[in-house]
Each structure stands twice: as C-alpha cells, then as structure tokens.
Amino acid sequence: DAVERGEYRHYMQKEIFEQPRAVADTLEGRIGQHGVLPNIFGIDADPVLDRTKQIHIVACGTSYHAGMVAKYWIEELARLPVVVEVASEYRYRDVVVPEDTLFVAVSQSGETADTLAAMRESRRRGYLATFAICNVPESSVVRESDLRLMTRAGPEIGVASTKAFTTQLAAFALLALDLGRRRGLDHTRYLKLCKELQSLPRFIESALRIEPQIEELAEHFILKHNALFLGRGVQYPVALEGSLKLKEISYIHAEAYPAGELKHGPLALVDEDMPIVAVAPNGPLLDKLKSNLQEVRARGGELFVFADEHAEMDDTIEQGVMVRLESGGEFISPAVFTIPLQLLSYHVAVMRGTDVDQPRNLAKSVTVE
Ligand code: G6P
C-alpha cells in the first residue's frame, strides 16, 4: 500500500497529481495538429454521429457533473440539444426520446447499478445508439454499449473521484469538438479549441503548483459546518463537483449554486460562519459573478475566489482570499478550475483527520440500487 502511494500521503492526493498524465493519456492518439482523429469512437461511429440530433447523458455522482459540463460544450459547439440526468431518476421516468437521439452513459467503473440499469432501459426507449465514456474496458457499461471512448485514468483507488472526472472532461471535449466539426463549427475556431484542449495537461500541471497556497486556505474551513460554492455558466457544474468533494471527504455540509440563484434563497444563509467559494474564470459572465460576490461581501460572508490570472477583478478582498491561476482558455477552464477545488477538499479533510481515501458510508462503486 505504502509502496503504491509512493511519496503521497493518500491515494487521493496521488491521483490528484496524476491528472496531467491521465489527461494526456486520454488525449493521446486521438487529437492532432488537424483536429480530432478519425474513428476514435469506433469504426461504426461516423453514421451515428452524423445523424445525431439530440443527446441524453446519464450518470451518477462525479460522472454526472462531467455530463453537465459536456452539455454546455456540446450545445455551444455543435448546437445539439443535450439533456443530462442522474441515472436513478432517468431509469424510472417516462422519458421522451425524439428521433435520432444518442444515449450517453458516463461511468468511471462501468458497474454503477443505476447507470447500468438506465442504459439497459434505454434499449427499450428507441435511441439511435448507446455511447459509453468509461474508465474500465472490461466493464458491463462498455461491453453493452454500441460506441465508446475510454478514459485512460488508470486505476482510481480513492473513493472520491478526481482523475476520473478530468479524464471524462477530456473525453467529452473530444466528442464536443468532433460533433462541432460535423455540424459546421467555424474551422479556425475548431482548430484553436483543439489546440487549447491539447494544452490541458500543461495547465493542470500549473494549477497543481498552487497546492501550498490552497493548504493555507484550507485552514479557514477546519471548524466550519457549512460552505457554499458558486459558479456561473460552465463553471456551475465545477462548483457542484467542488461541493461534492468537500462533503464526501471532510463531512462539511456544502452546497453549490449557480451564482445568479443566490438571491432566491441561499443568500439568507450567508453570515460570517459561511465560507463561500467562487469559481470565476474570465468570461462573459464574470461581471455578473462579481456583482453576486458583492452581495455576499455585504453580508459578511468570507469569500474564497478562484480567478483567472487575467480576470479583471480586485485582488484585495476584505473578508477572504483571492487565488489566481492560469485557466488555459475558456474552453478547458472547467477542468483546470477543478484542480484547486480538489486540493481544497483534500487538505480540509486531512486537517480534520477524516479517512480521506475511505470516507464513511461511501463506496467506490455502488453496484446495488
Ligand atoms: C460513487 C463514487 C463516486 C462516483 C459515483 C459514480 O458514488 O463514490 O466517486 O462518482 O459512484 O461512479 P461511476 O463509477 O459510475 O462513475
């Protein structure tokens, strides 16, 4: 066990630091100078992807959050409507499946009972085809799907998922770009985004270097009972994933909100005992997020803002801390901004003395309903 963990204290920390490699492996041989390479989704994929008019993404836990990011990407780049749903709901609902809808299952293990059952149920619902994004080649989800793209995260031991998530994002980014190209995405923009995706391992590497800063920040959370995570647009699922990580391993109650919803409820909770974590890369929604943060500040909430290096934001926060990082570009920024949130949860959990790799009541793979 100690040998496998090497220099790291926990598997989770090791897996967080393996992400540049895991993402690079997932992109390897799948994207090049001229874009996404042919046949990476299987030789039967072309007619299916050309015909696809809608996408339904189904998953659980962290994999569900990857699907939520994918919705923003696919809708923007390929102009295809995407519905994302947790598998335990999807399987029991009378879902409307329009003609030429692609079913996508996302799962690290490929054995999650609800995801597998949802996929089997989808067979009866008249989809164009089933597509799996999965980390385990011999798993049931992979065996039973028509098309697939394997993540190459390697074995993930920590119950709280880290490298599986960022590799799922890399896989979805390939799918979004490929669908975009098929559906008229401007070629110059396509090539620019392909290049941006190829730089993702490098920007993850650079985000990992701020660990000492995050460790200091984690101290503010040790005695807290609650935390609020805010994001806007594609960073909203990143905030959800950040709050899930904190709950899972530090046992601090955490919730994530799209920042615009703050005034419709959660603002009532904000006081000096409620730390607020905001994910704020540079983008069209930055100004709106800044005004949401103003509302938090006015109510004495302690703010922890993760901002793009180039974002025009005031670095002097009276009640809180601003952490700057290189986002690598708007497209890949959800994967990059995930890193400091993983590190934050990890260090808070270590300081609170919880069992980081084996949090109470949770399982790595939930194979029963
Ligand atoms: C469990 C794990 C999570 C994981 C989820 C879905 O809840 O603790 O880390 O995200 O299952 O697992 P899957 O293998 O389907 O991605």
pLDDT at residue number 18: 97
Identify the residue whose C-alpha is closest to ligand 1 atom 5: 61
pLDDT of residue 3: 67
What's the per-residue H, E or C state across 169-196? HHHHHHHHHHHHHHCCCCHHHHHHHHHH
User: How far is Cα 140 from Cα 22, in angstroms, rounded to an integer?
Assistant: 22
Using the CB atoms, write b or e for 318-337: b if 16+ within 10 Å.
Answer: eebbbbbbbbbbbbbbbbbb
Give the ipTM of the model, two decimals please: 0.98
Percentage of the chain exceeding pLDDT 70: 98
The rounded Å distance from CA 364 to ligand 1 centre is: 6
Mean pLDDT over each residue of the chain, to the nearest integer: 94
Residues that are catalytic? 364
What are the DSSP calls for 137-173, one per residue?
A: TTSHHHHT-SEEEE-------SSS-SHHHHHHHHHHH
Q: How far is CA 108 from CA 48, 141, 256, in A?
A: 24, 10, 23
Residue 223 Cβ inside 6 Å of ligand 1? The answer reads no
The pLDDT of residue 325: 94
Q: Is 242 in the pocket of ligand 1 (CB under 6 A)?
A: no
Query: pTM of the entire structure?
Result: 0.97
pLDDT of residue 318: 65
Q: Measured over all CA atoms, what is the biggest interatomic distance in the chain, rounded to whole angstroms? A: 57
Q: Report, as an integer, the average pLDDT of 227-232.
A: 94
Distance of CA 40 to the CA centre of its chain: 22
Token pair in block for residue 62: 């962290």
Give me the percent of the chain exceeding a pLDDT of 90. 83
- Reported as a pLDDT band with limits 50, 70 and 90, residue 144 is very high
Q: How confident is the model at residue 4 (pLDDT cuts 50, 70, 90)?
A: confident
In the predicted structure, residue 267 carries a pLDDT above the cut 90: no
Q: One-letter amino acid identity for 216?
A: E
How does residue 296 score in pLDDT terms, banded at 50, 70 and 90? confident
Predicted confidence band at 132 (pLDDT cuts at 50, 70, 90)? Answer: very high
Say how many Å lie between the CA of residue 167 and the centre of ligand 1.
Answer: 14
d(CA 12, CA 3): 15
The residue whose CA has the least distance to atom 8 of ligand 1 is 364
pLDDT digits (tens, 9 = 90+) for 22-64: 999 999 999 999 999 999 999 889 999 999 999 999 999 999 9
Q: Which residue has the higher pLDDT, 357 or 1?
A: 357
Dist. CA 367 → ligand 1 center (Å): 10
Closest Cα partner for 205 from 26, 332, 20, 347? 20
Is the Cβ–Cβ distance between 231 and 258 less than 8 Å?
yes
- The candidate with the shortest Cα–Cα distance to 35, out of 154, 133, 141, 177, is 177
CA–CA gap between residue 50 and residue 292 (Å, rounded): 41
What 3-state DSSP class applies to 56? strand
Q: Is residue 243 lining ligand 1, measured as CB closer than 6 Å? A: no
Q: Looking at the predicted structure, is the pLDDT value of residue 300 above 90?
A: no
Which residue out of 365, 367, 368 has the highest number of ligand 1 atoms within 8 Å of its CB and is therefore the one to mutate?
365
SS (H, E, C) 75-122: HHHHCCCEEEEEHHHHCCCCCCCCCCEEEEEEECCCCCHHHHHHHHHH
Question: Quick one: average pLDDT of 286-314?
Answer: 84
**pLDDT given at position 280:** 86
Statement: residue 136 has pLDDT above 80: yes
Q: Give residue 312's pLDDT.
A: 81
The model's pLDDT over 10-25, given as tens digits with 9 standing for 90+, comes to: 999 999 999 999 999 9
Please state, in angstroms and rounded to a whole number, the distance separating the CA atoms of residues 159 and 151: 17
CA 161–ligand 1 middle distance (angstroms): 7
- Tally the C-alpha atoms within 13 A of residue 168's C-alpha that lie toward its C-beta: 32
For the cut 80, the answer to whether the pLDDT of residue 283 exceeds it is: no
pLDDT at residue 69 in the model: 98
Q: Is a pLDDT exceeding 80 seen at residue 338?
A: yes
pLDDT at site 156: 94
Q: Whose CA is nearest to atom 7 of ligand 1?
A: 61
Distances (CA, A) of 43 to 25, 62, 146: 21, 29, 10
Helix (H, G, I), strand (E, B) or coil at 256: strand
